[in-house]
Amino acid sequence: MASLLKISANLRSPALVGARAASSYAAAFRSALSNEPATEVTTLDSGLRVASETLPTQLATVGLYVDAGSRYEDKHNNGTANFFEHVAFKGTTKRSQSAFEQELESLGASVDATTGREETVFQARCLSKDVPKVVELLADVVQNAKLDDGDVKRAREVLLGEMEQVAAKNLRSVVFDHLHATAYQGTSLANSVWGPTANVRAIKRDDLRGYVDSHFQAPRMVLAVAGDVRQSELEKLAQQHLGKVGTTFDGKAPTLSPVRYTGSEVRVRDDSVPLAHVAVAVQGCGVNESDALPLSVAASLIGSWDRSHGAGVNSASKLAVASAHDKLSHNFESFNLTYRDTGLWGIYFVCDPLACEDMLFNVQNEWMRLCTMVTDGEVERAKRQLKTSLLADLEGPRGVCEDIGRQVLRQGRRDPLHELERRIENVSAGDVRNAAMKYIFDRCPAVASVGPVENLPDYMRIRSSMSWVRL
């Protein structure tokens, strides 16, 4: 305490105390980030990339990331990647489903698979000492899946049931599917991960095998591991268990087709639903473009809120304060979805049927403020929140593995945390305003809504509110 008093006496003002303390904390934070273990990436002769980060933990996460998802599909085979995810763990040519599950249980490990628009992921969580065995199991799944006709039939019934449940209970997912369908209509990014029901009913064993053979090739795969592992050992494991993965394609290799954004809307009015679910977005930028971070800061500044969490009237987000004070919405979340060459920046909210117009008015008012008068203080707060969110996502081996896999799959490397922190810190209020003017101001939005949305303004009114008259 005496030393703190001495320091205080030598400083001229409280503001200087705060500035020096903040500077000291920032320097310590950057030093800690720069001492984080590096991500090692190796490309094998086959084109398979092996990436790892050594963590001081007994737990590890192993992931196989593949360039395969709904964006690589067309109207005839849309839904195939997600279908394969549901039959992948039903046994291989080397081991039955029961044998596979018993081996996992004996290790105390767990596996799952997810399909997105640009990648398919097979992931396992285990003890670090069991990584070699888990790598072998995942390699067996992606190379030797049995794809028995009976398993395919059962998976089809499960999928159709899940699709019905999502349509009835997960309206957020439904709205975002509609948002992509209208924003990128006529392009592959409009494809739903699930695919249309007709496709799911028609997909057969040979369709799945053909899709795997054409997409699951070594140059399109990343083996990522986070835990107490060594890169040299992983390279040997990859060579041993994934060395026979194909490297050539029958015909032309799958590529991402160009996308075309269309400002438009889709409304699914259903008055039997108690609340309106609405998403409004503009076209953003690709994940590696210079405006990606300013747009992420802008999304963080708008923020998110749920009335069940309280604290709305005391929130730093002006939209959260308005939502809580005037009961405009039940919850909202601002988002910046980034893909390799494009993105969607916007907001999703859930509100009472008669609050749609007022909520949207406040949303667009905040968007215009982003473009014209956002302050340095607001941007500094948003940057801190963004860094906190990013670091929270990297808590534990699973988050680290997912970050490694997706970054290496998309750009061939992983940005060090201290470099990412520096880039976020360099974002200024001017950068946010410039990005907002470029992507938001006077742009045609994409709108998707489900539920009792009669009170939602028509599209031309929404479009006319995407700008302010400047004098």
Catalytic residue ranges = 85
DSSP run (H or E) holding 450: strand 446-451
| Separation CA 203–CA 156 (nearest Å) | 8
* CA distances from residue 455 to 266, 350, 352, 354, 366 in whole angstroms, order as listed: 15, 13, 10, 6, 20
Q: How far apart are CA 177 and CA 415, in angstroms?
A: 30
d(CA 373, CA 382): 15
First to last CA, the chain: 55
CA 75 to each of CA 14, 24, 113, 283, 414: distance values in angstroms, whole numbers, following the listed order: 64, 56, 23, 23, 33
Tokens found for residue 158: 């499960």
Of the candidates 295, 291, 331, 298, the one whose C-alpha atom is nearest the C-alpha of residue 312 is 331
- Return the number of other C-beta atoms located less than 10 Å from residue 95's C-beta: 17
Residue 62 forms beta bridges with which residues?
A: 124, 225
Which residues face 65 on adjacent strands? 121, 222
Token readout for 154 is 């059962």
Check: CB of residue 143 under 8 Å from CB of residue 48: no
Query: What is the C-alpha to C-alpha distance for residues 119 and 100, in angstroms, rounded to an integer?
Result: 24
Strands 221-227 and 59-66: antiparallel
The residues pairing with 123 across neighbouring beta strands, listed in sequence order, are: 63, 112
CB 363 within 8 Å of CB 282: no
**What 3-state class would DSSP assign to 64?**
strand
